[in-house]
A and B are shown apart, each in its own frame.
Chain A
Amino acid sequence: MILLDLFLTFFRIGAFTFGGGYAMLPLVQQEVEHHGWMSKEQLVNFIAVSESTPGPFAVNVSTYVGAVTGGLPGAFAATLGVVLPSFLIILIIAKFYERFRKATAVESAMRGLRPAVVGLIGASVWSIGREVFFRERIEQADFAAPQLYLSLGIFALAIYLSFGRHLHPVKIILISAACGIAAGVAGLL
């Protein structure tokens, strides 16, 4: 039952990720790969699409995975799944707002969750980095191929543009796309 599976999986993702944006990535990555809904390469490609379109990453990725695996009903089931936990929890909190603000248990749990998210995204950088530079596994031949050095070069440029020049993510994506096309046209890929 693909629709139920989509709904439950994205419900889990919605219920167990704290913080916006890429905080969701590690769990999305685990679930999507585990189900075989998307390869790591497709996921990284999709992050670029998501960055270039409006809306939160969680909604974008759930809609996309749902649409690809189950058409319109799939997209609906996955998106509903990712939104529902937030919606219900916030509804309750809005009612007991004052008490929630003073709850020390929430702050205590967040003391553990904030660094956890940093570590988890670190793990994503590790696995996605391997995918970007070496594909499936690291082989001797990779070090002779121009792809590795091109990727490293584009990565270094993007790091500079992002940290040094504070360029908007969409511009960084466009520039790296242009670099990729230039390399392809030059016959290096």
Chain B
Amino acid sequence: MTFLKIGAFTFGGGYAMIPLIREEIVHRHRWMEDKDILDITAIAESTPGPIAINSATFVGSRVAGLPGAFAATFGVVLPSFVIIYVISFILRQFENFAAVRYAFFGVRAGVLALIVNALVSMYRQCSHDVFSWCVMGAALVLVAFARVNVLWVIAGCAAAGLLRTGIFEKTGRPPEGSEKESSV
């Protein structure tokens, strides 16, 4: 159960966690090998849910089965949970202070820039072909302008991906391009 402690300290750092996992799990504890780390990223990205939770559950489960998965996931969630729970009180008390309102006025514009940055880096990771552009455009228009439920759009796009493979099965297209890690 040392995993719990490690989880709480290492995984707490947000999105730069894959290098941290490697450092802790491969180099320090030798619980897994380097090549397993690559698989973690692939699996965490192609299953629903936050990457941090997916990776922690996966590592924990591989290393120590169900208790390991539980301990690792708990370890990732606990620091966030405690910090945010405390912040939720502070935030509401200070929300109406003039200085805080001014600060958040600036911050909202800054956050928009961060989301644009995330958008660009995800666009770069995505394959660039007609099919992808059509899906992107459709998802954008349906949600931003037609106000279609996001859940339906996600389900529809997954179905489109499956259909596409069904149709192009025999053409033997080249596989996915880049596998870069998102930095945001």
Contacts and interface: CB of A to CB of B under 8 A. Distances in A.
A73 B48 CA distance: 25
Interface in A80-95: 82-83, 85-87, 89-91, 93-94
B143 A120 contact: yes
A150 to B, nearest CB: 8
B95 to A, nearest CB: 8
Contacts of A158: 109-110, 112-114
B33 interface: no
Q: How large is the interface on B (under 10, 10 to 19, 20 to 34, 35 or more residues)?
A: 35 or more
Judged by DSSP, the binding face of A is helix
B49 A113 contact: no
Given A64-B88, A83-B77, A58 B53 contact: yes
Interface of B: 12-15, 39, 42-54, 57-58, 61-62, 66, 69, 73, 76-77, 79-81, 83-85, 87-88, 91-92, 98-99, 101-120, 122-123, 125-127, 131-133, 135-140, 143-144, 149-151, 153-155, 157-162, 164-166, 176, 182, 184
Given A53-B87, A112-B159, A176-B109, 10 more contacts: A14-B48, A50-B84, A54-B13, A59-B80, A85-B49, A116-B135, A118-B119, A122-B144, A123-B139, A155-B113
Q: Which 9 A-B pairs have the closest CB atoms?
A: A180-B106, A112-B161, A55-B80, A119-B139, A184-B102, A86-B49, A176-B110, A20-B51, A158-B113
